Amino acid sequence: MKRLQRLWPLGLLLGFVAGLPLWFIQRNSTFLSGAYRYPELDKPLIHSSIESTFVSWVDPKAPQYITSFLDRARQRRSLALITLEPFPDPSRPQSDRTLVRDVIRGDYSQRIKAVLDPLCRPEQPVLLRFAHEMDNTGQYPWSVARGDDYVRLYRAVWAQARHPQCQRIHWVWSPAGNATSDLFWPGGDAVDLIGISVYSSPRWSHNGQLSSFAQVYERRRWLHRQFRKPLLVAEMGVSGTDQERRRWLLDAREAIRRYPELIGWVYFSAPQPSWIPLATGHEDWSLSPQLLGLVTSPHPSFAFHCQVLHVSLPVLHRKICRIRQA
């Protein structure tokens, strides 16, 4: 085990037991943390254990960027989290309307292969968050109204990665967490981890107040109860004064003790993209380096035995780790 800890995060995933992936986290702190920063900075965050980025598969430089990003994550001994955005090909007429159909019939196969090739590294695990926040209908081209259309899109891309070279890709299905998210569930065989979004802004609240981390998270937690997969806060943000944000983050650090199914969080330290249609306005979620330290600094020991993420060995998972029922 000491050797695995020295190889962190390569030791984060215990490779494959009898050819099947089993995730077992054992470190001084059993909570993964990181931040997406825009513009991306060369200087790493102290204590960060996740490197996060967003990649559009129609970007011609995407394969080269993925390679350099994975190299950086490995050098920093961090786990790579890549949000892969399936934007439509701008050279195709009305491609925003035909995205699902075009992917299903193979029109994007070469683009998909181009981004999968650098992701399929046998020596490095990667969390692949594909086509996120699909339940916010109309927000992205893949945020389609029909859940079955999204499922066909997701599974078509997932199926293209089903070969031995890509066995260290771990799939993150990542809705915003709305009440209708289950309509977009692609199936347990195609999901290793559920990502959710936790944002808090008075303008985004029904009562004009700043909702706590726990208040927002509790509205998303049902996804774990229904689908029995571990949760990752793949995006998180809070608005307000530095004092309000500091208090919110400190409260959040205390709240996570109560959620054994939650294995980590990633803060979105950047302005909300202006091109996203938001009737409530666009926030700047950026944090100062001091406040980002509250996101990534070591977390206190949790009041449960350990944390295990199971992909395909739930029986062994129950034997190894006693996790409270959510």
pLDDT at residue 280 in the model = 63
**Closest by Cα among 93, 91, 198, 190 to 150:** 190
Count other C-beta atoms under 10 Å from residue 61's C-beta. Answer: 10
pLDDT in tens, 291-315: 999 999 876 644 333 343 343 334 3
Return the number of other C-beta atoms located less than 10 Å from residue 138's C-beta.
Answer: 10
pLDDT of residue 60 exceeding 70? yes
User: Residue 266 in 3-state DSSP?
Assistant: strand
Percent of the chain with pLDDT over 90: 62
Contact 142, 173 (CB under 8 A): no
Q: Which of 95-99, 126-130, 256-260, 299-303 has the lowest mean pLDDT?
A: 299-303
Average pLDDT over residues 88-108: 92
Identify which has the larger pLDDT, 25 or 248.
248
Q: Lowest mean pLDDT of 158-172, 193-207, 259-273, name the range.
A: 193-207
Q: State the pLDDT at residue 279.
A: 60
> For 32-307, CATH number?
3.20.20.80
Looking at residue 7, its pLDDT comes to 35
Kindly tell me if the per-residue pLDDT of 316 is higher than 50. Answer: no
Distance, in Å, from the CA atom of 302 to the CA atom of 289, rounded to the nearest integer, reads 25
pLDDT exceeds 60 at position 153: yes
pLDDT of residue 17: 29
Q: What pLDDT is attached to residue 165?
A: 87
Give me the DSSP letters along 58-113: T-TTHHHHHHHHHHHHHHTT-EEEEEEE-PPPTTSTTTTTSHHHHHHTTTTHHHHH
What is the 3 state secondary structure string of 283-295?
CECCCCHHHHHHH
Q: Is 199 helix (H, G, I), strand (E, B) or coil?
A: strand
Distances (CA, A) of 201 to 58, 238, 239: 32, 6, 5
Q: 326 or 211, which is more confident?
A: 211
pLDDT in tens, 34-45: 999 987 777 888
In the chain, what are the domain boundaries? 32-307
Higher pLDDT, residue 182 or 306: 182
Taking only the tens place, the pLDDT of each residue in 75-90 is: 998 999 999 999 999 9
In the chain, where does DSSP find H-type helix? 2-6, 62-75, 99-104, 109-119, 147-160, 213-218, 222-227, 242-255, 289-296, 314-320
Mean pLDDT value across residues 148-166: 95
Q: What is the largest CA-CA distance in the chain?
A: 55
Give the best-scoring range by mean pLDDT among 6-15, 69-78, 81-90, 310-319. Answer: 81-90
